[in-house]
């Protein structure tokens, strides 16, 4: 991408003062020294004008090795700079906008431009947060060797890099399989193929004919067969990034919400990635500052879903998930698994979950107020306290788990996969 000159600014304070003093000396005392000083000032002003023209006539191009990247993944940004008029020693700075008006330099280097000999500069950077990052100004600075004047040339062309949330590895997700396909096993007994074994897992109240006796004998514990599916799931995910109106101590939870937002986006993107790679269809609704909706009926369209999640941003006074879910109830059908991911739900939402369950095969509400454990690390003790409304919701929902209304508070010392394995048995 070719960068266009936006403006050139200059500072000539010392040169202007020297010129004024030279003219004053010439007026008061006309001699060879005063004339020589005035001539020297004239040469400096000529150099001032010529370097200002050169710094404004540079040919600058910029390109990146990728326009999409995951968090903490390296992105290499290239700049090609050429001066066609004369040699020029300058300092160059390249800026990137990361959040609103916040910018920082990704390149700060002093270079010597030879006439008609382009220089290619590389800058490697990475981003710890998701979202749009905008490459903006490229600043070229020329300063006279003796400090008499200085020029700043601003070249600009906005170029976007979209940083996606990282995908976390999942082994399974407890969605209900209701849309029949040949060759895979459903979670209800229909067209089950016992000859297609996908893997094994630990025994948990399974029928005895599911036990894999050879593996159990080898490992010294009971393991059961995991069979392939004869069906796929149609999962609808509601991701709530906003603060609930019913929440108490909003100032405290507003600070917690910022960390929750990143954890919830990571969890949702990982779920979408796993489901689509298993051949399932996923719809997603993000309740944020703006309601973001997109249909991912294509079994391989996980990239678009993650791009949508990368741009989502929650708010303390945004739309409410209960309002959005109420409007969408008529679209639900018995083949759907409804998943709600939120930071804080109260027991007042339970009637809405019951109404939703009347339409779908399973309702799963995952509450992640304090995040979850990275599976690479061992669990530790936690002492977090949960609001009474949230506890009441989970206690009431326990009575409805057999009816496939499952509410789980994810604890900070749990991994998501551990929570999903708990739900899988229902």
Q: pLDDT for 108-161, tens place per residue?
A: 889 898 888 899 999 888 888 888 888 888 899 999 988 899 999 999 888 889
Same domain, 8 and 94: yes
Within a domain: 271 = yes
Same domain, 311 and 403: yes
Same domain, 133 and 206: no
- 249 neighbors 274 (Cβ within 8 angstroms): no
Same domain, 258 and 150: no
Give pLDDT, residue 189: 42
Give pLDDT, residue 27: 84
Same domain, 206 and 102: no
Same domain, 325 and 347: yes
Same domain, 382 and 417: yes
Within a domain: 175 = no
What does DSSP assign to residue 115?
B
3-state secondary structure of 421: helix
Give pLDDT, residue 338: 92
CA–CA distance, 175 with 188 (Å, rounded to integer): 12
Give Cβ neighbours of residue 218 (< 8 Å, ≥ 6 apart).
none
3-state secondary structure of 23: helix
Long-range contacts of 408-411 (CB under 8 A, 24+ apart): 408/364, 408/365, 408/366, 408/367, 409/367, 409/369, 410/366, 410/367, 410/368, 410/371, 410/372, 411/370, 411/372, 411/382, 411/384
Same domain, 250 and 222: no
What does DSSP assign to residue 364?
E
- Structural domain count of the chain: 3
> φ, ψ for residue 159 (rounded to 5)?
-135, 130
Query: Which residue numbers in the chain have pLDDT < 50?
Result: 180-192, 298
Q: Which two tokens stand for residue 59?
A: 């040919």
**Percentages of the chain per state (helix, strand, coil), in multiples of 5:** 30, 35, 35
Same domain, 196 and 345: no
Within a domain: 42 = no
Cα separations in angstroms, 233 against 129, 188, 205? 31, 12, 24
CB atoms within 10 A of CB 376: 6
CA–CA distance, 117 with 94 (Å, rounded to integer): 20
Q: Which two tokens stand for residue 362?
A: 């399973």
DSSP H/E element including 114: none
Give Cβ neighbours of residue 425 (< 8 Å, ≥ 6 apart).
204, 205
388-398 helix and 350-357 helix, angle to the nearest 10 degrees: 30
Same domain, 124 and 242: no
Same domain, 248 and 393: yes
> φ, ψ for residue 214 (rounded to 5)?
-65, -45
3-state secondary structure of 56: coil
Q: 């919830």: which residue's tokens?
A: 264
CB atoms within 10 A of CB 262: 16
- 329 neighbors 355 (Cβ within 8 angstroms): yes
CA–CA distance, 180 with 190 (Å, rounded to integer): 9
Give Cβ neighbours of residue 341 (< 8 Å, ≥ 6 apart).
237, 238, 239, 240, 264, 267, 268, 366, 368
Within a domain: 90 = yes
Within a domain: 115 = yes
- Which domain CATH number covers 400? 3.40.50
CA–CA distance, 153 with 51 (Å, rounded to integer): 11
Same domain, 320 and 417: yes
Q: Which two tokens stand for residue 333?
A: 């059908």
> φ, ψ for residue 173 (rounded to 5)?
-145, 135
Structural domain for 125, as ranges: 4-12+58-164
- Which domain CATH number covers 119? 2.60.40.3880
- 267 neighbors 366 (Cβ within 8 angstroms): yes
CA–CA distance, 355 with 162 (Å, rounded to integer): 38
Within a domain: 18 = no
Within a domain: 33 = no
Within a domain: 41 = no
> φ, ψ for residue 15 (rounded to 5)?
-65, -40
């Amino acid at each position: 991408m070719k960068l266009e000159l936006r403006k050139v600014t200059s500072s000539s304070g010392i040169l202007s003062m020297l010129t004024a003093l030279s003219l004053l000396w010439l007026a008061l005392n006309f001699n060879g020294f005063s004339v020589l000083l005035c001539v020297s000032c004239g040469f400096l002003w000529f150099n001032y004008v010529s370097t200002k023209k050169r710094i404004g006539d540079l040919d600058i191009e910029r390109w990146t090795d990728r326009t999409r990247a995951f968090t903490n993944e390296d992105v290499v940004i290239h700049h090609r700079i050429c001066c066609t008029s004369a040699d020029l020693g300058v300092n160059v700075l390249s800026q990137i906008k990361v959040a609103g008006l916040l910018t920082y330099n990704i390149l700060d280097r002093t270079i010597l431009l030879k006439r008609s000999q382009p220089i290619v500069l590389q800058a490697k950077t990475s981003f710890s947060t998701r979202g749009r990052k905008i490459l903006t100004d490229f600043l070229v600075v020329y300063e006279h060797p003796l400090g008499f004047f200085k020029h700043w040339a601003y070249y600009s062309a906005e170029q976007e890099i979209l940083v996606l949330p990282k995908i976390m590895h999942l082994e399974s997700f407890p969605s209900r399989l209701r849309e029949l396909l040949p060759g895979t096993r459903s979670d209800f007994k229909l067209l089950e193929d016992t000859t297609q074994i996908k893997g094994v897992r630990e025994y948990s109240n399974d029928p005895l004919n599911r036990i894999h006796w050879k593996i159990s004998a080898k490992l010294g514990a009971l393991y059961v067969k995991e069979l392939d599916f004869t069906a796929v799931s149609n999962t609808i995910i509601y991701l709530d990034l906003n603060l609930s109106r019913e929440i108490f101590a909003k100032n405290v939870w507003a600070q917690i919400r910022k960390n929750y937002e990143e954890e919830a986006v990571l969890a949702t993107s990982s779920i979408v990635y796993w489901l689509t790679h298993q051949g399932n269809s996923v719809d997603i609704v993000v309740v944020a500052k703006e309601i973001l909706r997109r249909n991912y009926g294509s079994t391989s369209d996980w990239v678009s879903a993650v791009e949508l999640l990368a741009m989502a941003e929650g708010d303390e006074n945004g739309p409410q998930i209960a309002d959005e879910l109420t409007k969408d109830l008529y679209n639900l059908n018995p083949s759907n698994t409804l998943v709600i991911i939120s930071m804080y739900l109260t027991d007042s939402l339970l009637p809405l979950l019951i109404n939703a369950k009347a339409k779908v095969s399973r309702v799963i509400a995952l509450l992640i107020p304090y995040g979850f454990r990275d599976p690479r690390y061992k669990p530790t003790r936690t002492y977090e306290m949960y609001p009474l409304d949230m506890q009441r919701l989970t206690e009431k929902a326990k009575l409805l788990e057999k009816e496939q209304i499952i509410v789980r508070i994810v604890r900070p010392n749990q991994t998501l996969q551990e929570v999903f394995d708990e739900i899988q048995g229902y």
